[in-house]
Amino acid sequence: MVNGKWAYSLDASRESDTNVLAQYIDRSVAVRGMHSARLGLKYGTLADECIDIFAPSEEGRAPFVAFFHGGWWKANNRIPRAFLAAEYLKRGFGFASIGYPLAPEHSISTIFESARNAISWLHRNASRFGLNPSRIVLAGNSAGGHLATMIGAEDSLAAAGLPASSVVGIVALSGIYDLGLLAETFVEEWLPLDQEIIRSCSPIHHLPAQSTPLLLAVGDAEPNGFKEQMLSYACAVKKAGRSVISEETAGHSHFSIIGELSRPRARPFEFSVARLTGEES
């Protein structure tokens, strides 16, 4: 088992990652400037409870990706991830970039409940914005991968009043699936973890429905903690008889792998497209 101070240590100051993150911001500005973008839609009362929706047409019913950003549950926001929408729009699909409240002001339980409320809101209101509430791919990176897989759990969807069939796939990049593996790491500086929280808010203890396939990916240049998270969760999902693909993606860091969700021919993008269209991935 990987543990210790450096198991999850990230450095976004490397020139290659700095350039990648800057490109994400520039590309997102262009996408957010589209006339069809619906920005800052409130799904709750907290400041960060907002969604940006990108749909090919408000008159249609486009299957869509609902994306949660990363940032260790304490940083970042939905805005610099709008660039991911561009390739889906070209294929006739929609995209929702979701914001949520952050630690340390809010607990992991509150963050999860807020994120789940966002999906409930999207499911209820999708048709108002040209989206199909019956064909949703949940996606996220890092902390967002945690939220996507937690929300996509069978018991979580039931608690939210959503039919399991409405989530046609889950894509998690560099996700956190077992909060227990973060105990006694630097993460507890802003996100206190006890056994109750670990049990109630870890995807490894709340698996998706039998009908919901997953794609898990991690970059080969990422810290080993993220690789262990993926392998242990994939093993649990397979053991339960669920469908899961897991892969270590060559040439990618914790930050560059985000772009694979919108790159044609990349496994995360093509998996999402296949699930949105109803094809086998």
Determine the Cα–Cα distance for residues 181 and 73; give it in Å rounded to an integer: 16
pLDDT of residue 6: 62
Going by C-alpha positions, the residue among 6, 172, 137, 147 that lies closest to residue 62 is 137
| 15-274 homologous superfamily | Alpha/Beta hydrolase fold, catalytic domain (3.40.50.1820)
Residue type, 140: G
pLDDT tens for residues 62-87? 999 999 999 999 999 999 999 999 99
pLDDT-derived band at 184, boundaries 50, 70, 90: confident
pLDDT of residue 280: 64
Domain extent listing, the chain = 15-274
pLDDT tens for residues 9-26? 887 667 789 999 999 999
Q: Is 156 exposed, middle or buried (0-12, 13-18, 19+ CB in 10 A)?
A: buried
pLDDT of residue 26: 97
Beta strands in 231-278 (DSSP E): 244-249
pLDDT of residue 60: 87
pLDDT tens for residues 121-175? 999 999 999 999 999 999 999 999 999 999 999 999 999 999 999 999 999 999 9
Residue type, 101: P
What pTM value is reported for the model? Answer: 0.97
pLDDT of residue 35: 85
pLDDT of residue 41: 98
pLDDT-derived band at 109, boundaries 50, 70, 90: very high
Query: Is 256 within 8 Å of 268 (Cβ atoms)?
Result: no
Mean pLDDT of the chain: 95
